[in-house]
Amino acid sequence: MKGKRSMALPYVVWSIAFVVIPLLLVVYFAFTDKNGAFTFDNLSKIVHYLPIFAKSINLALIATIISFLIGYPLAYCIARSRTHVQRNLILLVMLPMWMNFLLRTYGWMTLLENEGIINKLLGMIGLGPFEMINTQGAVVLGMVYNYLPFMVLPLYSILVKIDRSVIEAAQDLGANRFQVLCKVLFPLSMPGIVSGVTMVFVPSVSTFIISRMLGGGGNMLIGDLIETQFLGGSYNPYLGSALSLVLMVVMLLIMTVMNAFDEDDMEGMLV
Amino acid sequence: MKQRAVCLILCLVVFLTALPMPAAAAEEQVLYVYNWGEYISDGSDGSIDVIAEFEATHPGVRVDYQTYATNEEMYAKIVSGSAEYDVLIPSDYMVGKLIEEDRLAPLNFENIENYRYIDESFRGLEYDPENKYSVPYTWGTVGIIYNKTKVTEPVESWDILWDANYAGQILMFNNPRDAFGIALKNLGYSQNTTDPEQLAEATEVLKEQKWIVQAYVMDEIFPKMTNGEAALAPYYAGDAITMIEDNPDLAFAVPKEGTNRFVDAMVIPKTSKNKELAEEFINFMLNPEIAAANISYIGYSTPMTAARELLDDELKDNPISYPDESILEKCDTFVNLDEETNDYMQNAWIEVLAFGENDVGAIVCLIVETSAIIALAVFLIIKKRKNR
Amino acid sequence: MRSIGKKLYLACCFLFLYAPIAVLIVFSFNESKNRATFTGFTLKWYASLFQNELIMRSLFNTLIVAAAASIIATVLGTIAALGISGMRKRMRSAVMNITYLPVINPEIITGISMMLLFVFIKEIFHLELGFVTVLIAHITFCLPYVILNVLPKLRQMDVSLYEAALDLGCTPVSAFIKVVLPQIMPGIASGFLMSFTFSLDDFIITYFTSGSSFQTLPVTIYSMTRMKVNPQINALSTLMFVAVLVLLLLMNVRKKPKGVHA
């Protein structure tokens, strides 16, 4: 059935009112000063905050790579299990996602503290104590932990569709394990990799909760900075909007690059 | 399977909706109170629940009680227009700022007859000289809370917060005004300075301190100090009393350089739609018995002698909440600074929190990463072209 | 040998995923407030949790918003998907681009942009930030998920069936209900489920759009994590975990033949 175009009208109106106009407001505020006059000041101030952008992107990138390194084998293991085991394992991966991420991050605080459980356990075998919480490492750990399922699920759904015979064929043709991985598995699972990487990277870059709870306040990331401009300690929605605008543009650029990866390889796909 | 799940969830929702709505009576009046976190007796540990008492004495009224961590956070919420409250409890300088910006409603003291209990010395204070907009809630000093098992030397000076021997054991305020206050006092300047050079110096000092600071905290300080996570932290005297109760290894000292003496006051913002009820709430909080019960839980100092008389002896003459004249002499109170200084402080504070020694490294890293990714993309594209 | 390695790896991954949850559950039974030492078994935090009016109210708010937002978003989104499927290519890609915006935009930007809008129109519509704004925000970020779930089902659908129904004398409405709806139902259902869970779990967007009068559970949890240790948080986590677990088991058990479930 072809629906009537007009049926989409309420949705289009809704989207313009609550998606497009708000984003235009961000742009408007980014070019406005306290008195409502047009200005470039907010955007030119961004240069000053470049290190924060750099740090956020670095940490998010590290978190994404670690998630990929942990998530790919995990998704592969699950995809190669027996069918009913697969279902249960995937549910086990998804289950933590249904518990609020604030609570789970709070759980990590208990584990990582100087007097926390990990240090106590290590102390029993004579190690430590290690300074784990309030470091950049803890922030990365929080990102990996919270967004790992977002990496595993798309990878799993792609990997489970790859026919075992394709891999066997490659092996029969003399490919070693590494070659199978690089020439068969990776290209075939590219769409999954792209969506997994995006789904980990985007929320990691913009988080303000993880850096605040596990980073001890001294590891401010771009999300924190934006939040403080709106509801936090230093109220300045104009600068906040400018920061958001730049973040949005950076993300869109990254998306475009990622999509280039994807489409390019889609064409080369066997299926 | 999915349809079943939908059914299940729908059933659950219907079931939960059918539960009696929590006291959502039609005639219910709601009073929005916005206060500091951990700053009211909430009924835990056998204390009285002040809010519940108020609701019990005012049928048909529900208090929606919410908390903030810093004055600045409260200010952002009010100014952004995203939230409207009936009663706020900011500190001195913030009250001054709100008055200056014409955001507060003048109080009708006929509805606040318990104001008579407020001591003379707490009337007509600098931030509200005409006593038109605010009623003091509590007062106190800022000092250093330390763990006696970890700090054996006497704590006498703010300098100890810069002592590298305690690297990783120090907590610091997570708000610009208090942090700058300490840095300025330690440098021997006024905590209300507007001199850009002194402020720049304080910024440098705070940046230097960063590598020995374990975390920047507000109310997160409670578990960290009582569990022995950290050795030293500047914080408010009233909360120090609460923490010492939980962990007797802790102690509190006011440094010899002097410190900030704060007064937190109840005010009503202009946007309040329930001003009379808000005034009733303020009046209720000034009832000496309620105030005393509240104070004995939160540990701060009361501006009402009538309430202080009702406290346990231990708290009534506690030198932490009611320090000697010799200490008070060295204290002064924050005043509302001009806009320029406020802006400077806020930006400098973000610099302290966000920037580290390896900022250049981070940018270099980013450039390397970006080029690597672009190179990889180009490589893949070229490879694909060749294959075709 | 390889299989042992695989099992070990899986075990490590799940240990990582469940360690903090286990900690929260264990410490929900802890006598002392201290979050690092276990001093004795108690259920008092559960008892006090149910007496905590703030938490109960927030839970209620969360469920109301999630239910309302997901139902409205499902209806609106399904209708929109029908409309979009009838669009010509250029228009469709324009609409789809807007649809993808909230999905790929960082949540914090969606949150602040909506907050700016709501504050901006507050005076005009006398709309305080609260239930209505949170509902609007939740519907907005749920809509794309409904559309993205329903559209593929519409594409897979056999058009001739609908036309046959019309030829056989069905009115368009009854043809839609009897023929189209059953075929796209799985898409609608998964769209609804996703909306419901996302809405239930959302913190960031609610945080920026909720104002003073309306707090959902995640917002309340956030303010609790910033204060003194309150083991009620742990009790709450445990209950949420158990609730999800039970829900999943129920769904699973029904699928399996009898006697398999534990």
B contact test, residue of A220, A238, A258, A269 with most B CBs within 10 A: A220
CA distance B78 to chain C (A): 10
CA B374 to chain centre: 46
| Cβ contact B264:B36 at 8 Å | yes
The verdict on residue A179 lying in a domain is yes
CA dist C186 and A206 (Å) reads 33
In chain C, residues with a C-beta closer than 8 Å to the C-beta of A1 are 82, 154, 157, 159, 162-163, 176, 179-180
Query: What would the mean pLDDT of B283-287 be, rounded to a whole number?
Result: 97
pLDDT, position C172: 86
Query: Is the pLDDT assigned to residue C253 strictly greater than 80?
Result: no
Strand partners, B266: B135
Interface touch C229/B67, C-beta < 8 Å: no
What are residue A80's phi and psi, to 5 degrees? Answer: -95, 5
The verdict on residue A125 lying in a domain is yes
Q: Specify the pairing of strand B29-36 against strand B134-147.
A: unpaired
- Going by pLDDT thresholds of 50, 70 and 90, the confidence category of residue B19 is very low
Kindly report the average pLDDT of chain A as a whole number. 89
Residue of chain B whose alpha carbon sits nearest to that of A61: B369
B335: nearest Cα among B150, B126, B152 = B126
Tokens matching residue A267: 């064409």
Interhelix angle C131-156/C53-85, rounded to 10 degrees, is 40
Interface touch C189/B5, C-beta < 8 Å: yes
| Sequence-ordered alpha helix ranges (H) in A48-163 | 50-79, 83-94, 101-112, 117-124, 136-159
- Is residue B211 less than 8 Å (CB to CB) from chain A? no
Q: Which amino acid is at C190?
A: S
The closest CB to that of B5, out of C193, C211, C215, belongs to C193
| Cβ contact A26:C102 at 8 Å | no
CA dist A76 and C238 (Å) reads 30
- On the CB side of A163, how many CA atoms lie within 13 Å of its CA? 7
pLDDT, position A127: 84
| Cβ contact B95:B267 at 8 Å | yes
Query: Is the pLDDT assigned to residue C246 strictly greater than 70?
Result: yes
Neighbour count for residue A102 (Cβ, 10 Å): 24
| Cβ contact C9:C1 at 8 Å | no
Q: Structurally, how many domains does chain A consist of?
A: 1
Residue linked to tokens 């240790």: C229
DSSP string, B167-236: TTSEEEESSHHHHHHHHHHHHTS-TT---HHHHHHHHHHHHHHGGGEEEEESTTHHHHHHTTS-SEEEEE
- Going by pLDDT thresholds of 50, 70 and 90, the confidence category of residue B10 is low
The answer for C 200-229 residues in CB contact with A (under 8 A) is: 201, 203-204, 207-208, 217-218, 221-222, 225
Query: Is the pLDDT assigned to residue C261 strictly greater than 80?
Result: no
Interface touch A231/B377, C-beta < 8 Å: no
Q: Name the 3-class secondary structure at B175.
A: coil
- Is residue A61 less than 8 Å (CB to CB) from chain B? yes
Length of chain B: 388
- Going by pLDDT thresholds of 50, 70 and 90, the confidence category of residue B5 is low
Tokens matching residue B141: 């000093």
The answer for A 29-58 residues in CB contact with B (under 8 A) is: 49-55, 57-58
What are residue B118's phi and psi, to 5 degrees? Answer: -65, 130
| Cβ contact A214:A108 at 8 Å | yes
CA dist B180 and A16 (Å) reads 45
Interface touch A216/B354, C-beta < 8 Å: no
A173: containing domain:
49-267
- Is residue C226 less than 8 Å (CB to CB) from chain B? yes
Q: Specify the pairing of strand B213-217 against strand B170-173.
A: parallel
- Going by pLDDT thresholds of 50, 70 and 90, the confidence category of residue B26 is low
Interface touch B72/A113, C-beta < 8 Å: no
Interface touch C221/A116, C-beta < 8 Å: no
Residue of chain C whose alpha carbon sits nearest to that of B219: C227
Q: Which helix (H) or strand (E) holds B134?
A: strand B134-147
The verdict on residue A9 lying in a domain is no
pLDDT, position C163: 87
- Is residue A223 less than 8 Å (CB to CB) from chain C? yes
Q: Which letter does DSSP use for residue B120 in this model?
A: G
- Is residue A156 less than 8 Å (CB to CB) from chain C? no
CA dist B312 and C9 (Å) reads 59
Kindly report the average pLDDT of chain C as a whole number. 89
Query: What would the mean pLDDT of B37-46 be, rounded to a whole number?
Result: 88
Q: Which helix (H) or strand (E) holds B29?
A: strand B29-36
Omega before residue C106 within 30° of 0, cis: no
Question: What number is the ipTM of this complex?
Answer: 0.90
What are residue A259's phi and psi, to 5 degrees? Answer: -65, -35
Query: Is the pLDDT assigned to residue B1 strictly greater than 60?
Result: no
Residue linked to tokens 């320090």: B323
What are residue B46's phi and psi, to 5 degrees? Answer: 75, 10
Sign of the C-alpha dihedral, residues A126, A127, A132, A138? negative
Q: How much of chain A exceeds pLDDT 90, in percent?
A: 61
Query: Is the pLDDT assigned to residue C222 strictly greater than 60?
Result: yes
- Going by pLDDT thresholds of 50, 70 and 90, the confidence category of residue B376 is confident
Neighbour count for residue C9 (Cβ, 10 Å): 15
pLDDT, position B74: 95
Query: What would the mean pLDDT of B43-57 be, rounded to a whole number?
Result: 91
Q: Which helix (H) or strand (E) holds B371?
A: helix B359-387
In chain A, residues with a C-beta closer than 8 Å to the C-beta of B356 are 55
Q: Which letter does DSSP use for residue C132 in this model?
A: H
Tokens matching residue B349: 């504070």
The answer for A 108-137 residues in CB contact with C (under 8 A) is: 108-111, 113, 115-117, 120
| Cβ contact C232:C138 at 8 Å | no
- Is residue C177 less than 8 Å (CB to CB) from chain A? no
Omega before residue C20 within 30° of 0, cis: no
The answer for C 25-44 residues in CB contact with B (under 8 A) is: 33-36
Interface touch A231/B82, C-beta < 8 Å: yes
CA dist A97 and C177 (Å) reads 34
In chain A, residues with a C-beta closer than 8 Å to the C-beta of C233 are 103, 106
Interface touch C60/B5, C-beta < 8 Å: no
CA dist B147 and B256 (Å) reads 19
Residue of chain C whose alpha carbon sits nearest to that of A9: C80
pLDDT, position A115: 86
Query: What would the mean pLDDT of C164-190 be, rounded to a whole number?
Result: 90
CATH number of the domain that residue A168 is part of: 1.10.3720.10
The answer for A 46-85 residues in CB contact with C (under 8 A) is: 70, 73-74, 77-78
- Is residue C189 less than 8 Å (CB to CB) from chain B? yes
Query: Is the pLDDT assigned to residue B164 strictly greater than 90?
Result: yes
Interface touch C21/A231, C-beta < 8 Å: no
pLDDT, position C193: 92
Tokens matching residue B54: 């108020």
Interface touch C228/B222, C-beta < 8 Å: yes
Low-confidence winner among A204-218, C180-194, C221-235 (lowest mean pLDDT): C221-235
Q: Which residues of B331-358 are buried (b: 16+ CB within 10 A; e: fewer)?
A: bbbbebbeeebbebbbbbbbbbbbbbee
CA distance C26 to chain A (A): 11
Query: Is the pLDDT assigned to residue A11 strictly greater than 80?
Result: yes
CA dist B29 and B12 (Å) reads 30
Query: Is the pLDDT assigned to residue A256 strictly greater than 50?
Result: yes
- Going by pLDDT thresholds of 50, 70 and 90, the confidence category of residue C262 is very low
CA distance A50 to chain B (A): 8
CA dist B158 and B364 (Å) reads 37
> How far lies A2's CA from each of B188, C29, C177, in Å?
77, 57, 15
Tokens matching residue B365: 């890293």
pLDDT, position A177: 84
The verdict on residue A16 lying in a domain is no
The verdict on residue A82 lying in a domain is yes
pLDDT, position C158: 82
| Cβ contact B159:B186 at 8 Å | yes
pLDDT, position B6: 53
pLDDT in tens, C90-126: 999 999 999 999 988 999 999 999 999 999 998 888 8
Q: What does the radius of gyration of chain B's CA atoms come to, in whole angstroms?
A: 25
pLDDT in tens, A157-205: 999 998 888 888 988 998 888 888 888 888 889 889 999 999 999 999 9
CA distance B164 to chain C (A): 27
- Is residue A88 less than 8 Å (CB to CB) from chain B? no
- Is residue B175 less than 8 Å (CB to CB) from chain A? yes
CA B298 to chain centre: 13
Residue of chain B whose alpha carbon sits nearest to that of C212: B83
CA dist C50 and B170 (Å) reads 37
pLDDT, position A234: 85
The closest CB to that of B13, out of C67, C251, C254, belongs to C67
Query: Is the pLDDT assigned to residue A2 strictly greater than 80?
Result: no
- Is residue A36 less than 8 Å (CB to CB) from chain C? no
Query: Is the pLDDT assigned to residue B330 strictly greater than 80?
Result: yes
Q: How much of chain A exceeds pLDDT 70, in percent?
A: 95
The verdict on residue A11 lying in a domain is no
Q: What domains can you pick out in chain B, each with its CATH number?
A: 23-139+264-322 (3.40.190.10), 140-261+341-354 (3.40.190.10)
Q: What domains can you pick out in chain C, each with its CATH number?
A: 62-232 (1.10.3720.10)
Query: What would the mean pLDDT of C190-194 be, rounded to a whole number?
Result: 93
- Is residue A244 less than 8 Å (CB to CB) from chain C? yes
Give the predicted TM-score (pTM) of the model: 0.92
pLDDT, position B3: 52
CA distance C10 to chain A (A): 7
| Cβ contact C229:B222 at 8 Å | yes
Q: What does the radius of gyration of chain A's CA atoms come to, in whole angstroms?
A: 23
CA dist A148 and A145 (Å) reads 6
Low-confidence winner among B377-386, C158-167, C201-210, C236-245 (lowest mean pLDDT): B377-386
The verdict on residue A7 lying in a domain is no
The verdict on residue A26 lying in a domain is no
SS3 assignment for B37-83? CCCCCECHHHCCEHHHHHHHHCCCEEEEEEEECCHHHHHHHHHCCCC
| Sequence-ordered alpha helix ranges (H) in chain C | 2-27, 44-51, 53-85, 89-104, 107-125, 131-156, 159-167, 172-175, 181-201, 204-209, 217-225, 232-255
pLDDT in tens, B189-204: 999 999 999 999 999 9
- Going by pLDDT thresholds of 50, 70 and 90, the confidence category of residue A265 is very low
pLDDT in tens, A123-157: 999 887 888 999 999 999 999 999 999 999 999 99
| Cβ contact C209:C116 at 8 Å | no
pLDDT, position B78: 92
Q: Which letter does DSSP use for residue A132 in this model?
A: -
pLDDT, position A268: 34
Tokens matching residue B123: 């009337």
CA dist B271 and C123 (Å) reads 12
Exposure of A140 by Cβ count < 10 A (0-12 exposed, 13-18 middle, 19+ buried)? buried
Query: Is the pLDDT assigned to residue C259 strictly greater than 80?
Result: no
> How far lies B63's CA from each of B44, B273, B284, in Å?
18, 14, 13
Q: Which amino acid is at B132?
A: K
Low-confidence winner among A166-175, B372-381, C2-11 (lowest mean pLDDT): B372-381
Interhelix angle A190-206/C107-125, rounded to 10 degrees, is 60
Interface touch B22/C60, C-beta < 8 Å: yes
Interface touch A103/C176, C-beta < 8 Å: no
| Cβ contact B22:B206 at 8 Å | no
In chain C, residues with a C-beta closer than 8 Å to the C-beta of A140 are none
Kindly report the average pLDDT of chain B as a whole number. 90
- Is residue A102 less than 8 Å (CB to CB) from chain B? no
A71-75: list long-range contacts, CB under 8 Å, 24+ apart.
A71/A148, A71/A151, A71/A152, A71/A155, A71/A196, A72/A151, A72/A155, A72/A193, A73/C9, A74/A152, A74/C9, A74/C10, A74/C13, A75/A151, A75/A152, A75/A153, A75/A155, A75/A156, A75/A159, A75/A192
- Going by pLDDT thresholds of 50, 70 and 90, the confidence category of residue B16 is low
CA dist C194 and C94 (Å) reads 24
